[in-house]
Structure 1
Amino acid sequence: MPISAVERMGRKSRLGPNQRARLWPVFAAVREALAAERYTTWASVFTGLADALAGRAARPFDHVIIDEAQDLAPAELRFFAALAPAGPDGLFLSGDIGQRIFQHPYSWASLGVDVRGRSHTLKVCYRTSQQIRRAADRLLPTVLRDSDGLDDERRGIVSVFDGPQPEVKSVPTIAAEADVVRSAVAAWLGEGISANEIGLFVRTPQLVARARAAIDGLADAASMVTAPMSLAKGLEFRAVVVMACDEGILPLDERVADAADEAELDDIYETERRLLYVACTRAREHLLLTGISPVSEYLADLQTMAG
């Protein structure tokens, strides 16, 4: 394939012809080194499987249903599409662009998966209270657009039940934050919420110890989930605490410092917002966000609603 024909998926800043010419030998050398050591990548695995399936008259399945489709990489999407015959009902994809945290955007249509004119935005939320969903939605644009021009319209979404307003607390010290969190969690336990129905999320694995320390000594604290935000996908709790929402942690300073240009910086800020959105929407009934002052700039949106 000519260098000029290779797309730079997910990047807003395009590489010029001279840059591509300089970088192509680097990519080729890496591929050759992997092959010499008999190593491979998951992208190569899925690409090889997709190519093998494409050559078969019969496919393994009649229909394929995929959830969390917003985080599929290109090679993975090609593989799943190849599992079923081409047709209007061969592949069903479900996802939320607002929860895309692992994958840069790219065109599904360019890989032969074209849902334009056949997609629907679901408007009823059964998992999260109206108050939590409305607050969390303020972290995202009203309209999200994918690489094929499809709009995810977030107006008009409703939840089927109500609950308390989410709380946002800015405190001066880690000890003060621990006191706030411990008090809230103890109150939830007193209301009859089980320890395994409570989750605490932080931005990085290193901050998990801060969450564990905050609930130390509470009844059945070992049953409460404490994890980085990136592991929150697919989980659900009656009550959630999102801790350590400090300035410099959301967005994460190290990621911001590594941005190569303004376009990549914008992408980092968007992804960090989505991480917080994912963590907040794990909560069904109760949501508490805490941070040490000065707190993350993202909490201003949530505080406006929570106040």
Structure 2
Amino acid sequence: MPKLAIERQFFKELRKLDAPLQDKITETLIKFEAATHTGIHMEKIADARNPLYRSIRIDQFYRGVVLTPEMGEVYTLLTVLPHDDAYMWARRRDLTVNRATGGIEIRDAATIDEALPELTKVAEATSTRLFEGVNDADLTRLGIDETILPLARTITDHAQFDALKPVLPETQWDALAGLASGLTPEQVWSELGAKIVDEPYDTDDLDAAVARSGDRIVLVDGPADLMAIFAHPFALWRIYLHPTQQAVVDTAFRGPARVTGGPGTGKTVVALHRAHRLANQSTGPVLVTTFTSTLTDSLRAGVKLLTNSPEVLDRIDIQHIDKLAHQVFRDKHGAPTMLAEAEEKELWSSIIQRLELPFTEAFLAAEWRNVALAQRVSAASEYLSAKRTGRGRRLGANQKAQVWQAVWEFENSLRDRDQWTHETVCREATRLLAERIDKPYKHIVVDEAQDLSPEQWRLVRAAVPEGADDIFIAGDTHQRIYDSRVSLRDVGIKVIGRSSRLNLNYRTTAEILGWSLQLLHGERIDDMDGQLDSIAGCRSDVHGAPPTTKKFASQNEEVTYVAETVKAWIESGVDPSEIGIATRAKWLGRKVQDALFTRSIPVRMLANSKGSTDSTLVGTMHAMKGLEFRCMAVVGVNAKQVPAAAAVTPADEDQQTHERDMQRERCVLFVACTRAREDLLVTWSEEPSPFLVPLI
């Protein structure tokens, strides 16, 4: 019985078609599954570039182009177009097999043939070539075939290369784009996710190529599966992988492993696929965890896109790290009485007054969290010898003794009151799990790993037995937005030799990404394992308009402009749910919300679970973490709000901590700006943020 596969690009095209035509296409393809291909008028296409192309009738005006198998039963739908356009598509485009990756490729062969003579003429009049530093052997090894190789040799600059993207095979474009961005052939090979083989793939075996092209081809398993996929056409980018990502997902690791990469490179997608793979292969429970509840909602939705198997879903537990700690704690002790933020500050203040200490409440609280808790210090002698890396204020022996006395008093007061903080709940949960032989999980996947504290990492380590594929970590320290620093080695998680990096941004245009990266220019950012991290090589192959930056005389003018811009986006065809607005302070977000509401624009605050999901979302920069929007406005980026004064330690109190706080505030702004896919607006009133000054 014939099976139907669908080329990935078609799902993107489907979203642009009218609803009645989408229904017709769905009906036709269900018939294909329910009956045979003879029942849907499959016809040979005269003069087609590929002799295996056939057409299928959608309705009186539309036709689909299908690749028929040479020997097997899998038919691949490539596109659906008006009758004449479909036949022209088949006559101009060819489908081939990439010798390096073994996957299928579609190219606009006619345009390539037409462009080559003109490009050759231009190249002969130019002294430089874009790929002159790469030899033919390396290009061939990367999958550049005998048709594209002479074309590549004519390309003189980046603009010319970008113009060819619509006509080149996608994988070959990726390889050339990597070389054009400055990567070596070896680095590009690594990005392709393929392995060097003694013999290249058979480029004549299309059936085998279709079977192994999981990154491009969706094999539909019956009408129900087809309908489920059609219900989420816009979300397909989340569930189909580039070969680099697929290689990370499929690798079997002997212990903890990590994937890093800049914003939009698909780390979360890889993490979700990894969790799905582990749950499919194992009978043990898999935990997917992260720092905030907002992100767990997004992760839960992503997992549901990957599978409709109740058994697999039951094996995947998704919850943020604090919830896990509280769950373990409650199972043993019942619900804890939590110390409120104001109560904590009051408690530190009373200790300072009683002991007549020369420290502030903020300094002692940070010392407790970042030194005592982070290093599991439990005695004065341990504190005297503890590393205080990142704690800029130097302390002599007498001062350390004073600090330890304050910490001891604070912990004693918590015990006397039977009160807990999230940190002490996590510490107790870690102790309870460490004592258990039967761990609650067989595998743990951590997303946005850079924001977990050392104690939270110890909780992760204690919740899963050491072994193959025990912990998988996805994160980017350039997107750290909370005051957590950690060395994975120090908390018992060793990833040396099991780390991968993703460089290709799938979300943000090159213009938005390049502008945003300048916010972090010159910053020395750690890699969570004792070294410095680098975002060099992170790139986007999608181009668009540069970000818009705009200054206003007053905040009211700024908010009005933002509201009118949102209205214009919607009138141009952008769905309200594809628009996000980020502010550093909640009160400014509420002011923007009011301005949108008065213009009858559906809007809701991100922290509010109520309201239409078709609304424009307004939230703090922190709350935007892990989300993305077609159009993004980052509002109130002035000197008073970014950096936020309350989030930065004064330089005269602790210079090193001040610098770390400033770096974190830069990262917060960087995260907010890189939520944008196509359009980014950054506004401020009065004086701009010092982070913006070099960019405006």
With normalisation by structure 2, the TM-score equals 0.41
Report the equivalent of 1:38: 418
Report the equivalent of 2:627: 235
Quick one: which amino acid aligns to residue 90 of structure 1?
Answer: D
Is the partner of 1:297 in helix, strand or coil?
A: coil
CA change 1:175–1:232 in 2 (3 A) is same
Unmatched segments (≥5 aa) in structure 1? none
Q: 1-side partners of 2:529 and 2:396: how far apart?
A: 23
Is the partner of 1:11 in helix, strand or coil?
A: coil
With normalisation by structure 1, the TM-score equals 0.90
Equivalent of residue 599 in structure 2, options 210, 218, 232: 218
Report the equivalent of 1:53: 433
Equivalent of residue 62 in structure 1, options 421, 436, 442: 442
Q: 1-side partners of 2:412 and 2:451: how far apart?
A: 28
Q: Does 1:149 align with 2:149?
A: no
Report the equivalent of 2:663: 270
Residue 266 of structure 1: how far off its partner (Å) = 0.9
Residue 14 of structure 1: how far off its partner (Å) = 4.4
Report the equivalent of 2:277: none
Residue 43 of structure 1: how far off its partner (Å) = 1.8
Quick one: which amino acid aligns to residue 205 of structure 1?
Answer: K
Query: What per-residue deviation string (whole Å, max 9, x for no partner) do you get for residues 181-234 of structure 1?
Result: 133212210221111221111111222233224434334332222222121112
Residue 138 of structure 1: how far off its partner (Å) = 0.9
Residue 76 of structure 1: how far off its partner (Å) = 0.8
Is the partner of 1:18 in helix, strand or coil?
A: helix
Q: 1-side partners of 2:485 and 2:519: how far apart?
A: 19
* Higher RCO (CA < 8 A, seq sep 6+): 1
Q: How many residues align?
A: 303
Query: What per-residue deviation string (whole Å, max 9, x for no partner) do you get for residues 30-50 of structure 1?
Result: 111111111122222222222
Q: Does 1:173 align with 2:566?
A: no
- Percent identity (aligned): 33
Query: What per-residue deviation string (whole Å, max 9, x for no partner) do you get for residues 49-75 of structure 1?
Result: 222322333322221100011010111
Report the equivalent of 2:568: 187
Q: Is the 8 A contact 2:567 2:601 kept in 1?
A: no
After superposition, residues 64-143 of structure 1 pair within 5 angstroms as 64-87=444-467, 89-141=469-521
Report the equivalent of 1:261: 654
Equivalent of residue 279 in structure 1, options 668, 672, 682: 672
Is the partner of 1:272 in helix, strand or coil?
A: helix
Q: 2-side partners of 1:77 and 1:256: how far apart?
A: 25
Equivalent of residue 642 in structure 2, options 250, 272, 277: 250
Unmatched segments (≥5 aa) in structure 2? 1-378, 604-614
Q: Is the 8 A contact 2:450 2:528 kept in 1?
A: no
Comparing 134-143 and 21-30, the one that deviates more: 134-143
Q: Is the 8 A contact 1:123 1:156 kept in 2?
A: yes
Residue 77 of structure 1: how far off its partner (Å) = 0.5
Q: 2-side partners of 1:75 and 1:211: how far apart?
A: 37
Q: 1-side partners of 2:491 and 2:413: how far apart?
A: 28
Residue 100 of structure 1: how far off its partner (Å) = 0.7
Q: Is the 8 A contact 1:9 1:106 kept in 2?
A: no
Give me the CA root mean square deviation: 2.1
Q: Is the 8 A contact 1:63 1:90 kept in 2?
A: yes
Q: 2-side partners of 1:144 and 1:26: how far apart?
A: 31
Residue 240 of structure 1: how far off its partner (Å) = 0.9
Residue 160 of structure 1: how far off its partner (Å) = 4.3
Q: Is the 8 A contact 1:202 1:211 kept in 2?
A: no
Is the partner of 1:30 in helix, strand or coil?
A: helix
Q: Is the 8 A contact 1:136 1:302 kept in 2?
A: no
Query: What per-residue deviation string (whole Å, max 9, x for no partner) do you get for residues 272-307 of structure 1?
Result: 11111111111111110001132112123443xxxx
CA change 1:14–1:87 in 2 (3 A) is farther
Is the partner of 1:53 in helix, strand or coil?
A: helix
Q: 2-side partners of 1:56 and 1:247: how far apart?
A: 51
